[in-house]
């Protein structure tokens, strides 16, 4: 099976012969099905259930105030956005 029919199968649409891109299958009728293929499932999004502070210094300041330790996740690119 080549990649384009794989998408067609999921979308339940027919494809133009020789199509190279899924763009032709993006229509008002299929838009929400494309959306559902792209957005993370609840299990994939579970990491957002941790109440992450969004900057290091916010957490350090809070830790100083509440006498609690800090756990930092830091990446090239902000972990809560594009990393």
**Which of residues 17 and 44 has its CB atom nearest to another protein in the complex?**
44
Q: Are 33 and 10 in contact (CB under 8 A)?
A: yes
Listed in sequence order, the residues at least 6 apart from 73 whose beta carbon sits closer than 8 Å to its beta carbon are: 52, 79
**Which of residues 17 and 81 has its CB atom nearest to another protein in the complex?**
81
Q: Cβ 28 to another protein, closest distance in Å?
A: 7
Q: Cβ 33 to another protein, closest distance in Å?
A: 9
CA-based nearest residue to 25, from 1, 33, 39: 33
**Which of residues 17 and 65 has its CB atom nearest to another protein in the complex?**
65
């Amino acid at each position: 099976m080549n990649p384009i029919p794989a998408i067609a199968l999921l979308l339940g649409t027919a494809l133009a012969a020789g199509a190279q891109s899924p763009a032709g299958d993006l229509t008002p009728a299929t838009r929400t099905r494309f959306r559902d293929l792209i957005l993370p499932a609840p299990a994939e999004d579970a990491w957002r259930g941790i109440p992450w502070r969004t900057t290091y210094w916010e957490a350090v300041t809070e830790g100083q105030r509440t006498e609690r330790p800090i756990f930092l996740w830091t990446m090239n690119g902000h972990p809560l956005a594009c990393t």
